Amino acid sequence: MAKDLYESSEEAKRLLELANDILGFRITDIMFDGTPEELKQTKVTQPAIFLHSVVLAKISYDFNPDMVAGHSLGEFSALVANGVLSFEDGLKLVSQRALAMQKACETNPSTMAAILGLDDAVVEDICSSIDEVVVAANYNCPGQLVISGSHKGIELACEKAKEAGARRALPLPVGGAFHSPLMEPAREELEQAIDATAFNQGSCPVYQNVSAQAETNVDTIKANLKTQLTAPVRWTQSVQAMVADSGTTFIESGPGKVLQGLVKKIHREAEVASI
């Protein structure tokens, strides 16, 4: 991850070496040459994705967005991209977020599953009908909703989703029930870190996961970010709001092209590209 950036750009090299200093270990060694197991370490995965996304945006001379958004972890990258957070503060928060989430996962073993081919309202009704912790977590695109909760809750919800006609109800290989009430311990820990961090006026609106609408007020952005870990990622609604506000071209910054695919499923006429 990002090795080509490190070797071809002095600014990328500077930022990645700064990240090594901030994190207290050489994350670049793992990003460039690490095994899949090493990359899956909690303290590595989230900072690595954040770094790849942010460094790409930072070294792109023509990167000047009119609006930004990020999916879950990506919201922190978006807030660095529009200047609400500094690179250093964004990385520190992402690192603290990852470690807090790991602790919450160890306290409350839990999981997630992708439900494909059902209306959101049907999946929401299924979740609310189960006497376990299970909630809608990621509204990725029409017909693709990720649910989050206890192992038993997810098992029951997957069974009911199949009975309701879901094309697939697929348990995901994740460490816990992200974006659910089971992340409350992590939310509390991250809230303290957010309160201790400087937030600036952004260069453009951010469409946040929690509200799915354009946000420019710093206090509102902070409040939404504090609740993000226990609230659903409203990606479908965020993209729809961006389109309604004249968003036509969506540029993805980071590893992979998953968000480009989701954007096209949400709005076929959208233009998508990578940095």
Domains, the chain, in order of start with CATH, read 3-106+181-274 (3.40.366.10), 111-171 (3.30.70.250)
3-state secondary structure 209-233: CCCCCEECCHHHHHHHHHHHHHCCE
Residue 61 predicted with pLDDT over 90: no
Q: Is 128 a catalytic residue?
A: no
* DSSP secondary structure code for residue 245 in this structure: T
Q: Is 267 a catalytic residue?
A: no
pLDDT at residue number 63? 87
Residue 195 and residue 128: Cα distance in Å, rounded?
Answer: 33
| Burial grade of 69 (CB within 10 A; 0-12, 13-18, 19 or more) | buried
- Mean pLDDT, the chain, integer: 96
- Euclidean distance between the first and final Cα of the chain, in Å? 15
User: For residue 175, what pLDDT band results from cuts at 50, 70 and 90?
Assistant: confident
Which of the following is catalytic: 71, 179, 180, 267? 179
Residue 68 and residue 242: Cα distance in Å, rounded?
Answer: 9
Burial 20-58 (b: 16+ CB within 10 A, else e): eeebeeebbebbeebeeeeeeebbbbbbbbbbbbbbbbb
pLDDT at residue number 42? 82
Q: Which residues pair with 138 in a beta bridge?
A: 146, 233
Which of the following is catalytic: 52, 53, 71, 72? 72
pLDDT at residue number 178? 96
The neighbour count for residue 119, using CB atoms within 10 Å, is: 12
User: For residue 275, what pLDDT band results from cuts at 50, 70 and 90?
Assistant: confident
| pTM of the shown model | 0.96
Residue 67 and residue 13: Cα distance in Å, rounded?
Answer: 27
The encoded tokens of residue 69 equal 């958004």
For 87-138, the pLDDT digits (tens) are 999 999 999 999 999 999 998 899 999 999 999 999 999 999 999 999 999 9
